[in-house]
Structure 1
Amino acid sequence: MSRDLFGFKDEPFNAYPDNKYFFSSILHDKAITLLEYGLNSRKGFMLLTGLKGTGKTMTCNILKDSAKDCNVSMVKYGSVTPDVLMKQICAGFEMEFKEADSQELFGQIMEYFVEQYKEGKNNLIIIDEAESISDENLHMLSRFLEIEIEKCKLVQVIISGCPELHDRLKHIGSDLGPKFTFTVELAPLNLHDTTEYVEHRLKTAIGDDDVQLFKSNSYPAIYNYSKGVPSEINRIAHKALSIAKEKKQSKVTSGHIRLAAARLYGVRATKKMKKKPAFIVLLAILLIGGAFLYKDWYAGAKLAVNTKQKETIIETKPEVQEEKQEKPDTPPVTIVESPEQDEEAAEQEASALPEVSASAQQEQVAQTEPEPETIAEPEPEPVVEKEPEPDPVAEKAKIKHGCVTAQSGLKIRDGASVDTELIGTAPYMAYVELIELSADGNWWKTLYEDSYGFMYARYIKVVDSAEECVAD
């Protein structure tokens, strides 16, 4: 135990399910909401699946404790006969029954369900850890759903187990499979939820919201070894606390987590493995920077070559013309090399030559001179039109009134999706102002206790005034 060093009131990472340590992740919140809907709507058979240790039992416990006007019998399944299972169900309901054969016992249970229905109560049977449930017991449970009053099923059944149970029930070869209303699956936590899960348990065990016993670098290590499975998170965190206590250190670090994983699983994570992602990022930065430098160098080299080629053309072109003058096809008209030319003709030729050469040279220079580079003007930044501020008067005119109908309360989120952040909870029959319904019709934008948020529309009843939101 680590209570003395860390100030725990009790063990925060106990393997035994305890509702006060329940962490409502987005997935667990969604699972409970769907199961509550199936229970309150009297949907009959429901299936809850998930990997071992993802929190199925605690989810069922939370549902059991939050159910209102409902009798709940929760049974941990073992390899038993239908008669024994029915007796366990009766004990869960705390009902008195007489020893009898299976048919008479079934009749006693159905009489109990009818009496509870007349009193306005629902009934729920939860079979936990039901991976190995027999076909006979499945058939017995399905018989409970065959009797209805006013098109309402007298009992609802939740079967909880590993994902293999869902695959088995799909191919069971009986009439049970199609009777399942829906299946809810619990997945492992992500890194963000893993961090919040550990901190929630620590704060609950100490009673202090400002506690920081685990350093930030320990959470990625916990997630890496646990894969986000809550039961494995508990094992690793518990072992890491014990190691920190052995070393008389008040903070849990990534080194403690690695050592805990080595003791639990026989694995090791070296520092090189830890630094490998940083090395990869550094290498990527160097490669990208090198690519940009090479691109700039290549563009400069190409520009220099082009400029040099143009200068060479300008300098060599007159020499080509001189060669053509030195080797004419008709020797009698040669001007430069003829020694017998008279002085008068030479003077006339000399006076006319500069004019022709000047005009030709200007034309030649104009043709060969490189055009100046045009510098592109920077494009103007796009103008982002700001959305107009909502008109409070217009908003007030659109507001509708609503009441929360979820028995366990309705979660408030900062966006119209279960993947958005949870910002609060509105209790049963709480009054909320309805601002706007989402395009898909699943979410209301609401105003509750001076805070805006989004609530699941299925559990909000539109009313004429706030006075109608009164709990029974």
Structure 2
Amino acid sequence: MYQLFFGLKEKPFRITPDPRFLYLSEKHAEALDHLTYGISQGEGFMVISGDVGTGKTTIIRSLTERLDASRIKTAIVLNPLLEIEDLLKTILEDFGLSPKGNSKKELIDQLNAFLLSLTRGGIKAVVIIDESQNLTSDLLEELRSLSNLETDQEKLLQIVLVGQLELWNKLNSPALRQLKQRISVNYCLEPLSLKETKEYISHRLSIAGSRGNLVFSTRALRLIHKVSRGIPRLINLLCDRTLLVLYLDQKTQVLPGHVRKAIESLRGGQRPTSVFREIFFRRLAFGGVGGLVIFLGTLSLLWLSPRNNTTLEATIISGEAPKTQSSVAPVRYSVHISSFRKEKLVEQAIEKIAREGLEAFGMAVQLPDTGTWYRILVGQYETREEAQNLANRLRENGLFPYSVVTSIPQRTPINKPEIKGSTP
């Protein structure tokens, strides 16, 4: 939305990791160097830990790009919530093999034979397990046993555990004492310093095509660092919103006031704990048409809760429902743009959107595991194609990149229909 105004080729502060935007702070570079050295020396276990959003995924991607693929084979496990047999199958498949058995012994034998063949060719094997804090103690102990696969000269398999800080709570347990003793590289990623935050922002702007006409004042940078606590993911969220505020103000220099407006526009959004370890903001602020636009942009940063195949029940909770007429054809589809935990926030949002002539309404969705979520939906259509066209436009303009089509009941008065869905 703001790229053309600032002369940027693309958005500089996207949430998704992109190797082109890689910025290695001193601590990140040290962690990467430690991992690279540990793998080159054939170390057994290595651990990289850090809080949510501190760049663990960046380290993994950088490591795999740095390693010589002709001399080091890597397997990456992204979902460690598995039984040992499933974990072994995942490792084999990521090494490019088809599992030839179902029992643990059969799978370990196949893995061992493969690793021996690599060793004979002078090739090392590394398994990287992301989100390792989700591994059970039993599964961690099984991984320790895999490190026993070795020849007289060297270990056949190296294992890198990457996870949140809770990982060390498990590794410090008496039951995993032997595993902890085998950890040769242990590095904890830290948030960026103020200096590194400045460099991080400047680096991303440069990669996105900035020619120096977009400037963050020193005080604005200090405020961004203070609020984000130097966590790269939060820096991205806040900087993206700040640029939107700056665009609405038709300015090219970011001042503390722009950052404060961005913070206000983000307040009230409830985000999953996989992104924020705490409730980052406490209330929602609106202000005129500009405030509405900022608010609409804010919704694009609110992740939908994890997908779930469980049947859900939802009720329309707010919004101006169309008048019921017997001749009105059923409407089956709408566009889901965001979800909130608090019903009051949805009602405020819908009221504001309605005053600008947009059709929006809310639905309460009951999830078995996480309780009630409140959806905001836009538009009501008879065909999925019509709704998909709207969703595409909302995503393309950058305001609602997570817009998805969802089925809804026919046009009926508030608090009457029930629907089934897969997300809150």
Contact 2:64-2:74 at 8 Å conserved across structures: yes
User: In the alignment, what sits opposite 1:115?
Assistant: 117
Q: Counterparts of 1:121 and 1:195 in 2: how far apart (Å)?
A: 41
RMSD of equivalent CA atoms: 1.7
Query: Which residue type is aligned with residue 94 of structure 2?
Result: G
Query: Which residue type is aligned with residue 240 of structure 1?
Result: T
Residue 88 of structure 1: how far off its partner (Å) = 1.6
- 1:181 counterpart SS class: strand
- 1:108 counterpart SS class: helix
Q: Give the 3 Å change call, closer, same or farther, for CA 58–84 of structure 1 in structure 2.
A: same
Query: Which residue type is aligned with residue 181 of structure 1?
Result: S
User: In the alignment, what sits opposite 1:204?
Assistant: 207
Q: Counterparts of 1:124 and 1:172 in 2: how far apart (Å)?
A: 26
User: In the alignment, what sits opposite 1:231?
Assistant: 233
Q: Counterparts of 2:9 and 2:124 in 1: how far apart (Å)?
A: 37
Query: Which residue type is aligned with residue 213 of structure 1?
Result: V
- 1:225 counterpart SS class: helix
Q: Counterparts of 1:225 and 1:138 in 2: how far apart (Å)?
A: 36
Q: Counterparts of 1:52 and 1:211 in 2: how far apart (Å)?
A: 32
2:103 corresponds, among 101, 104, 112, to: 101
Q: Does 1:36 align with 2:36?
A: yes
Write out per-residue CA displacement over residues 257-308 of structure 1, whole angstroms, 9 at most, x where no aligned residue: 111122224479xxxxxxxxxxxxxxxxxxxxxxxxxxxxxxxxxxxxxxxx
User: In the alignment, what sits opposite 2:331?
Assistant: none
Q: Counterparts of 1:211 and 1:96 in 2: how far apart (Å)?
A: 53
2:135 corresponds, among 133, 136, 148, to: 133
Q: Give the 3 Å change call, closer, same or farther, for CA 213–92 of structure 1 in structure 2.
A: farther
Contact 1:48-1:183 at 8 Å conserved across structures: yes
Q: Counterparts of 2:219 and 2:195 in 1: how far apart (Å)?
A: 13
Contact 1:77-1:133 at 8 Å conserved across structures: no
Residue 211 of structure 1: how far off its partner (Å) = 5.1
Contact 1:145-1:153 at 8 Å conserved across structures: yes
User: In the alignment, what sits opposite 2:154?
Assistant: 152
Q: Give the alignment of 1:335-346 within 5 angstroms.
A: none
Q: Counterparts of 1:8 and 1:108 in 2: how far apart (Å)?
A: 51
Residue 207 of structure 1: how far off its partner (Å) = 6.1
- 1:158 counterpart SS class: strand
Query: Which residue type is aligned with residue 156 of structure 1?
Result: Q
Contact 1:126-1:159 at 8 Å conserved across structures: yes
Task: Give the stretch that moved more between structures: 136-145 or 126-135.
Answer: 136-145
Query: Which residue type is aligned with residue 55 of structure 1?
Result: G
Q: Give the alignment of 1:448-463 within 5 angstroms.
A: none
Q: Counterparts of 1:264 and 1:237 in 2: how far apart (Å)?
A: 11
Contact 2:192-2:230 at 8 Å conserved across structures: yes
Gaps of 5+ in 1: 269-472
Q: Counterparts of 1:113 and 1:6 in 2: how far apart (Å)?
A: 52
1:193 corresponds, among 189, 196, 211, to: 196
Residue 102 of structure 1: how far off its partner (Å) = 1.9
Q: Counterparts of 2:126 and 2:10 in 1: how far apart (Å)?
A: 32
Q: Counterparts of 1:20 and 1:70 in 2: how far apart (Å)?
A: 23
Query: Which residue type is aligned with residue 195 of structure 1?
Result: K
Residue 250 of structure 1: how far off its partner (Å) = 2.5
Q: Does 1:182 align with 2:177?
A: no
Task: Give the stretch that moved more between structures: 14-23 or 188-197.
Answer: 14-23
Query: Which residue type is aligned with residue 52 of structure 1?
Result: V
Contact 2:6-2:210 at 8 Å conserved across structures: no
Write out per-residue CA displacement over residues 53-79 of structure 1, whole angstroms, 9 at most, x where no aligned residue: 110111011001111111111111342
1:167 corresponds, among 146, 166, 169, to: 169
Query: Which residue type is aligned with residue 35 of structure 1?
Result: L
Q: Give the 3 Å change call, closer, same or farther, for CA 99–2 of structure 1 in structure 2.
A: farther
Write out per-residue CA displacement over residues 70-93 of structure 1, whole angstroms, 9 at most, x where no aligned residue: 111111134221111112212222
User: In the alignment, what sits opposite 2:15?
Assistant: 15
Contact 2:80-2:130 at 8 Å conserved across structures: no
2:87 corresponds, among 85, 88, 98, to: 85
- 1:176 counterpart SS class: helix
Larger gyration radius, structure 1 or structure 2: 1
> Under a length normalisation based on structure 2, what TM-score does the superposition of the two structures give?
0.60
Q: Counterparts of 1:117 and 1:95 in 2: how far apart (Å)?
A: 16
Q: Counterparts of 1:92 and 1:213 in 2: how far apart (Å)?
A: 44
Query: Which residue type is aligned with residue 200 of structure 1?
Result: H
- 2:175 counterpart SS class: coil
Contact 1:73-1:93 at 8 Å conserved across structures: yes
Query: Which residue type is aligned with residue 193 of structure 2?
Result: N
Q: Which runs of 4+ in 1 moved over 3 A?
A: 210-213, 265-268
Query: Which residue type is aligned with residue 242 of structure 2?
Result: A
Gaps of 5+ in 2: 268-280, 284-424
Query: Which residue type is aligned with residue 9 of structure 1?
Result: K
2:261 corresponds, among 259, 262, 277, to: 259
Q: Counterparts of 2:185 and 2:257 in 1: how far apart (Å)?
A: 44
